[in-house]
Amino acid sequence: MQTSALSPDVAASLPPPSARYHVDVLPWPEVGEHGVTYSNGSCRETLQWASVLLALAAEVGEPEGVRTVVIDLVVERKETEVVVCRFDVEPGPEAQEIAMEIAASVGRARCSRTLLALATDGAASRQVPDLDTLAEEALAELGL
């Protein structure tokens, strides 16, 4: 895990990672050529690829339990926090296909090593037990 770029004094005074990692869940997502289309009430909206600052992936859950691949798309970055749009997919070929499409659409430079591993190998290289741990590790990767 990458260490935070923040000084120890600043890091100690910050709220917990889960309070600095703001998540908007995208209901009924469909990854496509222009972005991720999702339901917003009775309408369908698209999060454009140009709005994505960084794409992250992780497999979340216990090793012997139910696991899912979580895709977080960073859409806003502030001094010590981020806003991400999130959706999840079942581990396996579908997750790999989606990761490949994201990597091709936003470019490798805007993909975390974990999303690139999912696109290349079919498995996310980050495996965490819960979403709080995901927030903590993602913030560290972002230097926050």
The residue extents of the domains of the chain are: 8-141
Paired tokens of 81: 């926090």
Sort 117 into a burial class: Cβ within 10 Å, 0-12 / 13-18 / 19+. Answer: middle
The amino acid occupying position 66 is: V
Helix, strand, coil proportions of the chain in percent (round to 5)?
Answer: 35, 35, 35
Tokens of 125: 């290289």
Which residue in 69, 77, 125 sits closest to 98, CA to CA?
69
pTM: 0.88
Convert the pLDDT of each residue in 60-104 to its tens digit: 998 788 899 999 999 999 988 999 999 999 999 999 999 999 999
